Amino acid sequence: MQTLNAMHSKKPDKIPMKNINETVYVTSGADAAAAASNTLRADVKSLSFWYGENRALSSVSMPVWDRKITALIGPSGCGKSTLLRSFNRMHDLYPGNRYDGEIRLYPEDRNLIEMDPGLVRLRVGMVFQKPNPFPKSIFENVAAGLRVRGIHRRAVLDERVEKSLKDAALWNEVKDRMHDSAYSLSGGQQQRLCIARALAPQPDLLLLDEPTSALDPIATAKIEDLLTGLRQSVTVIIVTHNMQQAARISDLTGYMHMGELIEYGDTGELFTNPREKRTSDYITGRFG
Amino acid sequence: MTNAASVVIEVQHNRSFGGASEKFLRRRAMQAAIARCILFAAAAASVLVTVGIVYVLVTESASFFSHVSIRDFLTDTQWTPVFENARFGVMTLVSATLTVAGIALAFAVPAGMALAIYLSEYARPGIRETVKPFLELLEGVPTVVYGFFAVLFVTPLLQIFLPELSGFNLLAPGLVMGIMILPYTASVSEDAMRAVPMGLREAGYALGYSRFRVAAQVVIPAALSGITAAFILGMSRAVGETMVVAVAAGQNPNFGFDPMEGAATITAYIVQMAMGDLPHGSIAYQSVFGAGIVLFVITLIFNVLGFYMRRRFREVY
Asked if pLDDT for residue A113 goes beyond 50, the answer is yes
Task: Give B271-275's long-range contacts (Cβ < 8 A, gap of 24+).
Answer: B271/B242, B271/B243, B271/B246, B272/B246, B273/B81
Half-sphere exposure of A234 (CA within 13 A, CB side): 27
For residue A118, the chain B residues in CB contact (below 8 A) are 208, 210
Homologous superfamily of B91-313: MetI-like (1.10.3720.10)
Query: Once rounded to an integer, what is the mean pLDDT over residues B274-302?
Result: 85
Kindly state whether B216 is in contact with chain A, defined as any CB-CB distance less than 8 angstroms: no
Between residues A23 and B161, which one has the greater pLDDT?
B161
What pLDDT does A30 receive? 47
For residue B213, the SS3 value is helix
User: Residue B79: phi, psi to the nearest 5?
Assistant: -130, 95
| CB proximity B255 to A under 8 Å | no
For residues B113 and B127, what is the distance between their CA atoms, to the nearest angstrom? 17
pLDDT band at B133 (very low <50, low <70, confident <90, very high): confident
Contact A134 B206 (CB under 8 A): no
Please state which of the ranges A247-256, B129-138, B144-153 shows the lowest mean pLDDT: B129-138
The domain spans of chain B are 3-66, 91-313
Whether chain A has a CB inside 8 Å of the CB on B192: the answer is no
User: What's the rounded Cα separation, in Å, for the pair A7 and A26?
Assistant: 9
All residues of chain B having their beta carbon less than 8 Å from the beta carbon of residue A194 are 203
Just give the CATH number of A20-131+205-283.
3.40.50.300
* Phi/psi at A57 (5° precision): -130, 135
Residue range A259-286: mean pLDDT, rounded = 91
By DSSP bridging, strand A97-105 and strand A40-51 are antiparallel
**Closest Cα in chain B, distance from residue A147 (Å):** 10
The secondary element (H helix, E strand) that includes residue A47 is strand A40-51
Domain boundaries, chain A: 20-131+205-283
Rounded to a whole number of angstroms, the distance from the CA of B235 to the nearest CA of chain A is: 26
Instruction: Tell me which of A63-67, B67-71, B84-88, B199-203 is least confident.
Output: B84-88
Quote the CA–CA distance of A269 and A138 in Å, as a whole number: 41
- What is the sign of the dihedral through the CA atoms of A178, A179, A183 and A186? negative
| Average pLDDT in chain B | 86
Angle, vertex CA A234, rays to CA A231 and CA A236, nearest 5: 80
Structural contact between residues A243 and A62, judged by C-beta atoms closer than 8 angstroms: no
Residues of chain B in contact with residue A122, where contact means CB-CB under 8 angstroms, are 208
Cα distances from B226 to residues A133, B205, B315, in angstroms, run 19, 23, 10
pLDDT of residue B4: 55
A118 to chain B nearest CA, in Å? 5
Residue-wise pLDDT tens digits, A120-178: 999 999 999 999 999 999 999 999 999 999 999 999 999 999 999 999 999 999 999 99
Q: Label each residue of A182-229 as H, E or C.
A: HHHCCHHHHHHHHHHHHHCCCCCEEEEECCCCCCCHHHHHHHHHHHHH
**Best mutation site among A87, A132, A148 for testing chain B: the one with the most B CBs within 10 Å?**
A132
Q: Where are the alpha helices (H) located in chain B, listed in sequence order? A: 3-16, 22-65, 70-75, 91-117, 125-139, 143-149, 155-161, 171-194, 198-206, 211-213, 220-240, 243-248, 266-275, 283-313
Long-range Cβ contact pairs of B306-314 (< 8 A, separation 24 or more) = B306/B228, B306/B229, B306/B232, B306/B233, B306/B236, B309/B225, B309/B228, B309/B229, B309/B232, B310/B225, B310/B226, B310/B228, B310/B229, B311/B225, B312/B225, B313/B224, B313/B225, B313/B228, B314/B225
Distance of CA B193 to the CA centre of its chain: 20
CA atoms of B10 and A142, how far apart (whole Å): 67
- What is the model's pLDDT at position A17? 38
Count other Cβ atoms within 10 Å, centred on residue A133.
24
B72 pLDDT band, cuts 50/70/90, is confident
Nearest residue on chain A to B198, judged by CA atoms? A132
Are A261 and A239 in contact by the 8 Å Cβ rule? The answer is no
Report the residue of B207, B211, B314, B316 to disrupt the A interface, i.e. the one with the largest count of A CBs within 10 Å: B207
Is A131 in CB contact (< 8 Å) with chain B? no
> Of A227, A168, A176, A173, which is closest to residue A193 (Cα–Cα)?
A168
pLDDT tens digits, one per residue of B87-121: 888 888 999 999 999 999 999 999 999 999 999 99
